[in-house]
Amino acid sequence: MSSRQKDYLHNEEKSAKIVAGQGRDGTDERTRLQKPVKLQPSWEENNLPEDELNFKNLTMDDASLQVHTPPDKYNLVYITFLIHGIGTLMPWNMFITAMGYFTDHKLARDYIGFSFPHLTNFMQILTFCSQVPNVLFNWLNIFVHIGGDLTTRIVWSISINVVVFIITIVLAMVDSSEWPHTFFWTTMVTVVVLNMANGIYQNTIYGMAAKLPPKYTGAVILGNNISGTFVTIVSILSDAMTGNKRMAAIYYFITALFVLLVGFDTYFALPLNRFYRHYELKAKKNEELRKREAERANDHTPYLHIVKKALPQLYNVWFIFFVTLGTFPAIQANVKRVDTNFFIPDKWYSPITCFLTFNVFAMIGSMMPTWFIWPSAKYLWIPVTLRFLYIPFYLLCNYHLEGLNRALPVLVTNDWVYWIVAITMALTSGYFSSVAMMYVPGTVEDRYASTAGMFGGAALITGIFSGILLTFLWPWFITHVGY
């Protein structure tokens, strides 16, 4: 047989095999067709586990994000929550630090021509108007999604804050000497509205941070403590830039407006960050799982279960701020210098040993959990409860109020001792509050972490409010308790 005939027969044999269902390599072509076809990029190459393959309405990138945790590049998410931490306490800090603007200018005798009846208890009224709506809306926001989803609540709350500060700036610009009562009650109404919105804002931010690792809740707490330092510095700079209290107040409140607008912008940048999207998708999955389980059990969010498990840390959060606000600034701002030779003069004694010291060292304390965390969640209540000793200590310092005769003896007569203890109070306030808030989401299952974070934010505000209420007792106490 010739070579040409051999080639012809070989080609005929190959064609017959293909028709019969065999490949060129001799394998069954039907078997080849039954093998799964891989997509590029494939699920297998993304190493996605089998229980994650049923993603609905997700792109391949989002599906991969649910499984693989990207880094927080340049700490952008951390910085964002830090900014929101500053913004959430900005309204409160702005108004209490601007006390002189209201009492020494807008409602002063020299400006309005008579003694304003509410001048002596201005801070008490301002405090009440600030904290009552803040507490109510913090707690209400846990059980009722006021304004819809997180984005809606954040947008509306920050927008209302911005509008209120614009009104405050306008009130600072106009001459209100002819209508001081209208100015006073307009200010109080704006404070109520401001803190209603801010209660939702603060609570929602803690809920968002609770979806992320614990250090991001710490970033919000750090921002809260930076807020006081920031506001104090802005106040000093505003006064230094102009001797006119009206212009100083305008610069001061414009700064608050700027911070809120920055917070507004950074919130909308969060969904563009892969690190944040990872935890957001993870939280959504947990929420869907929780809803399915609730539907099967015909049940709702187990608030009692969440509170029961988080109660030790909620107590810690509440008690830390109860003690802190029970002494700062009500007692500390009125502690007078004992030693006339002390290097800080009377004019700067309270601003330095009270406001600057507390704000700076509370900020440092809030940063410390990024380096170490102690004690464990089980034993945190011990040092937190021991902080109650700060209250009798400060009452035994040289605490005086104008027009009141002190009956309680002054036992702490060393300015250095008072100042050192003030530093420790600020450090422990910042540190333990951060640690406690970081522990709160971890006390419950992942799908309830956001709700637990909201309970933590509500406990924080409740601690602030109850501590401030306690301060109404101290004037009576020092004048009626003694030898």
What gap in Å lies between CA 128 and CA 192, rounded to an integer? 9
Domain assignment present for 353: yes
Between the alpha carbon of residue 447 and those of residues 81, 142, 200, 287, 349, the distances in Å are 21, 15, 21, 6, 49
**Domain match, 364 and 238 both:** no
Q: What is residue 153's predicted lDDT score, i.e. its pLDDT?
A: 81
Cα dihedral: 128, 133, 136, 137 (round 10) = -150
3-state secondary structure of 75: helix
Q: What is residue 12's predicted lDDT score, i.e. its pLDDT?
A: 54
Q: Contact at 8 Å (CB) between 111 and 105?
A: yes
Q: DSSP class of residue 443?
A: G
Q: At what angle do helices 180-209 and 150-173 cross, to 10 degrees?
A: 150
**Domain match, 379 and 437 both:** yes
Q: What is residue 104's predicted lDDT score, i.e. its pLDDT?
A: 78
The CA R_g of the chain, rounded to the nearest whole Å, is 31
Domain end position, chosen among 299, 327, 349? 299
Between the alpha carbon of residue 147 and those of residues 155, 203, 204, 229, 400, the distances in Å are 10, 13, 11, 32, 46
What gap in Å lies between CA 155 and CA 78, rounded to an integer? 20
Q: DSSP class of residue 311?
A: H
Domain assignment present for 14: no
Cis preceding linkage at 329, omega within 30: yes
**Domain count within the chain:** 2
What gap in Å lies between CA 223 and CA 52, rounded to an integer? 36
Domain end position, chosen among 299, 328, 343? 299
Domain assignment present for 431: yes
- Candidates 415, 404, 306, 407; CA nearest to 353 is 415
Q: What is residue 13's predicted lDDT score, i.e. its pLDDT?
A: 56
- Candidates 475, 464, 479; CA nearest to 228 is 464
Q: Is the CA virtual torsion 280, 286, 290, 296 positive or negative?
A: positive
Q: What is residue 293's predicted lDDT score, i.e. its pLDDT?
A: 67
Q: What is residue 385's predicted lDDT score, i.e. its pLDDT?
A: 97
3-state secondary structure 19-61: HHCECCCCCEHHHHHHCCCCCCCCCCCCCCCHHHCCCCCCCHH
3-state secondary structure of 331: coil
Q: What is residue 14's predicted lDDT score, i.e. its pLDDT?
A: 54
Query: Count of CB atoms within 10 A of residue 30's CB?
Result: 10
Residue indicated by tokens 């394998």? 27
Q: Name the phi and psi angles at 399, rounded to 5.
A: -90, 115
**Domain match, 320 and 382 both:** yes
Q: What is residue 471's predicted lDDT score, i.e. its pLDDT?
A: 84
- Candidates 226, 218, 286, 220; CA nearest to 439 is 218
**Domain match, 220 and 320 both:** no
Q: What is residue 428's predicted lDDT score, i.e. its pLDDT?
A: 97
Q: Mention every residue, 6+ apart, whose C-beta is less than 8 A from residue 418.
A: 335, 338, 353, 397, 398, 412
Q: Name the phi and psi angles at 22, rounded to 5.
A: -105, 145
What gap in Å lies between CA 366 and CA 225, rounded to an integer? 7
**Domain match, 435 and 328 both:** yes
Between the alpha carbon of residue 166 and those of residues 161, 266, 277, the distances in Å are 9, 20, 33
Local mean pLDDT, 10-residue blocks, the chain (483 residues): 54 52 48 46 42 46 60 87 89 78 85 82 76 79 67 85 91 91 93 84 84 86 83 79 78 87 86 82 74 64 90 96 90 89 86 86 89 93 97 94 83 96 96 93 86 89 88 87 72
Q: What is residue 382's predicted lDDT score, i.e. its pLDDT?
A: 97
**Domain match, 286 and 398 both:** no
**Domain match, 188 and 268 both:** yes
Residue 361: give the domain boundaries. 301-483
Q: What is residue 391's predicted lDDT score, i.e. its pLDDT?
A: 96
**Domain match, 359 and 399 both:** yes
Q: What is residue 45's predicted lDDT score, i.e. its pLDDT?
A: 43
pTM, entire model: 0.68
**Domain match, 117 and 173 both:** yes
Domain assignment present for 211: yes
Q: At what angle do helices 303-327 and 449-470 cross, to 10 degrees?
A: 30
Q: What is residue 195's predicted lDDT score, i.e. its pLDDT?
A: 82
Strand partners, 413: none
Q: What is residue 420's predicted lDDT score, i.e. its pLDDT?
A: 97
Q: What is residue 134's predicted lDDT score, i.e. its pLDDT?
A: 74
Q: What is residue 55's predicted lDDT score, i.e. its pLDDT?
A: 43
CATH of residue 106's domain is 1.20.1250.20
Q: What is residue 68's predicted lDDT score, i.e. its pLDDT?
A: 65
Domain end position, chosen among 299, 321, 345? 299
